[in-house]
A and B are shown apart, each in its own frame.
Chain A
Amino acid sequence: AQSVTQLDSQVPVFEEAPVELRCNYSSSVSVYLFWYVQYPNQGLQLLLKYLSGSTLVKGINGFEAEFNKSQTSFHLRKPSVHISDTAEYFCAVSEIGTDKLIFGTGTRLQVFP
């Protein structure tokens, strides 16, 4: 079985500062990795995904994430955040061969002016 740990439930940051949202996973088999974002009162939206190839993946809105197999991590980063990045961010995995997502508990990113 897979599990996902998002170590930070909340991350406060000032506008234009860099941010890293941490995600670690546990799985006995190979997985695909995802980050989803949920803006206030909106549905979940895919930010980026890692399936194979380069371990650094770029997503929408200037976000990127790096897959580290040895540390079983998939941390999300942005070099300079905007107020509009305020949202809840979810890391998720799916076992290769299945499509269901197993989500972490989410990290609330709060960007202050």
Chain B
Amino acid sequence: GAGVSQSPSNKVTEKGKDVELRCDPISGHTALYWYRQSLGQGLEFLIYFQGNSAPDKSGLPSDRFSAERTGGSVSTLTIQRTQQEDSAVYLCASSPTRTYEQYFGPGTRLTVT
């Protein structure tokens, strides 16, 4: 079946612009996660959605970052007023309920110039 998809695969933006990154999880997966992979910081947890529960936002690095998940499926990660340190690969993962197996998408490479 189809895996986790993310779009765009690459995004180049100017400092100060807003960007939206999209994640389509595997159908039926109740949990959705966003992570960031950068040279300086490695793989970092950003935010986690589980069903209808309030999201765990404890990993968001600043209030410029936000995410939503509509209809329990597609998720959008928004970065406002991008900075150069936001340059990274943003990874999305989804998971069936309580399997503790996360399936990762290919990522969106964000470059802020």
Contacts and interface: CB of A to CB of B under 8 A. Distances in A.
Contacts of B44: 103
Given A99-B31, A100-B59, A94 B100 contact: yes
Interface residues of A, number: 22
Interface in B42-79: 42-45, 48, 50, 56, 58-59
A105 B42 CA distance: 5
B91 A100 contact: no
Given A44-B91, A106-B42, A99 B48 contact: yes
A49 B42 contact: no
A101 B104 contact: no
Nearest to B41: A105
Contact of B50 (A46, A99, A105): A99
Interface in B86-113: 91, 93, 95, 100-107
B43 A90 contact: yes
A94 B105 CA distance: 19
Nearest to A45: B104
Contact of B101 (A49, A100, A104): A49
A63 to B, nearest CB: 16
A43 B42 CA distance: 14
Q: Which of A34, A44, A105 has the largest number of chain B CB atoms within 10 A?
A: A44
Given A43-B105, A46-B101, A90-B43, A98 B91 contact: no
Interface in A49-73: 49, 51
A102 interface: yes
17 contacts: A32-B100, A34-B100, A36-B104, A43-B105, A43-B106, A43-B107, A46-B101, A51-B100, A98-B56, A99-B100, A100-B48, A100-B56, A101-B45, A102-B45, A103-B35, A104-B42, A106-B42
A28 interface: no
